[in-house]
A and B are shown apart, each in its own frame.
Chain A
Amino acid sequence: MIQDMQPETIVGACKDVTLLLYNELPRRVLYTEIETPYPDGKLIVSTTDPDGVITHVNRAFVEMSGYTEEELIGAPHSILRHPDMPPAAFKDLWDTVSRGEKWQGFVKNLRKDGGYYWVKATVIPNVRKGKVVGYTSVRRKPSRTKVEECIKLYPTLF
């Protein structure tokens, strides 16, 4: 399940927008200009079912997203979708993994407190006995130059 973001959990001055998840499910999103730096040396790991619903997260995921593990498990992965991310990026992600291939890209993620963090993400299909049973994403610390490029590029992709 996914809920609107609540003003009382937001830290700092925020903007307010409604995103359409899955192209049809409205979610009110509150977001600030506060960046949380990626933790050095760590990987952020999550697994979803074939529909993109979260089934597993590691501790670094919980710490960076600001949600509890209970809030994350069973939620669509778009719980982290930031309004600055162009839909084309996620279309490319899903098109790529649906073909059975690996996807890699730079993603700006939204925290529960309205802040954001940049990651370099790799997503792969989990194939068991020839069937796709889910997807796994592993994120690492991105280079600042790559992030700067995305900050310029992404607004042009809407």
Chain B
Amino acid sequence: MTQGTDAVELRGIGKSFPGVIANHDVDLTIRPGTVHALIGENGAGKSTLMKILYGVQRPDEGTIRINGEDVVLKSPTDAIEHGIGMVFQHFMLADNLTVLENLVLGAEKLHGIGDDARAEISRISDRFGFGLKPDELVEKLGVADRQRLEIAKVLYRGAKIIILDEPTAVLVPQEVDSLFANLRELRDAGNSILFISHKLDEVLAIADDITVMRRGTTVGSADPKTATKRQLAELMVGSELPSPETGESTVTDTVELTLSDVTLTDEFGRNLLSDISLSIRRGEVLGIAGVEGNGQSELVEMIMGMRIPSSGHITLGSEDVTHWHTRRLREAGIGYIPEDRQRHGLLLDAPLWENRMLGHQTEAPNAKGPWINRAGARKDTQRIMTEYDVRAPSIDTPSRALSGGNQQKLIVGREMSGDPSLLIASHPTRGVDVGAQAAIWDQIKKARRAGLAVLLVSADLDELIGLSDTIQVILRGRFVGTFEPSSVTPQDLGAAMTGGEAA
């Protein structure tokens, strides 16, 4: 095979940020018509490399060759002209526009905004089995549909090389399966797909080629036909594969959190949550399984005092906290890992040590009375960075400069600090690598033995089954089934989550 036929050839790519070398001497070759997986530990430089390929960032050195032609990508517009499209982990859709409007937005020149555009959308949707309805409002779509829409957007703009940054992190297994079906269709139609994932099963299931990055450079490749998860993990982080085994039960008799018949309505009087009852005892992990968008976010925000229930009661320890505000709840000892780390968990432009204070700015070691304890906060940030392996140049680095997984580790470390009595965790290991995932699971298990009560919302069913003492399935704002983790399979859970059957 001649070299010129490769879809993408990156040679000697280097990129530095203040205090960090994000990429150096990166070589990557993507064959046309393949699915290429890029794996590596948090902060290895995967997202940076993808952003370089999509023209969001300029490399300091190295060459990019697309379909045998040397190119300089100054902006995403250049990248799109060369047939490269990217779906970011955080979707960029306008909620109050329709599917059609979102698709043509900014690409009106291609097929206009009328019937031609509509025809093109139907063609793409039918060809790859996306099932898009052009006139549906985007705010009505679930995550999986949004993702398909993002991919359709990229195809609509004529992309032949499609980059997906952690596309499966927000999906439950059935959705992952159908995404993969879509990706195979795309591949068979001659497109090249480059995707990043921390989930090694998925990588082995879909990829034709695998490239591993470590500490800013490509360290090797693996053949998905012969490689095992263990081998991949060792290539990535040099550590053992984690398994979220709970071991013996640590559930006590003391109830920490109770919700009784709680209903939450939106401003139009529609029920977001209906008659939810649950109780979590000290030392217990209650898992919530569900397809994203079925009320998990609302449940969490309600417990955290960011939404006030329209009826029912919430009790923490022995106090009625139904109308308590977030700060009071946090001061009472609740740790909170929000689902959207960038919007709810971080001040992106503030240094890490100030991010350590966020959400705990009135508590030790960050404050003394009304005063900030700068020294205390800085010292504790250092501790969190060591204990949770947060990799960053210093505690004065702005949190924006951290890789996704390192941002997540900082938040988990912060919320586990100060011995919380209750942890409300939404996707606590979303976006972290296998090694860090194991470490976070260990920390949760350790705290649980010491009496921590946990509400765990996760799209990762292995994580739910491995950590939980009980699992509740949520569907359209209601609990529709209770499962024993010891006897349930991911398949059972999956069926209940999509309304297949309730136990």
Q: Do A and B come from one complex?
A: no
Chain A residues within 8 Å of B, Cβ to Cβ: none
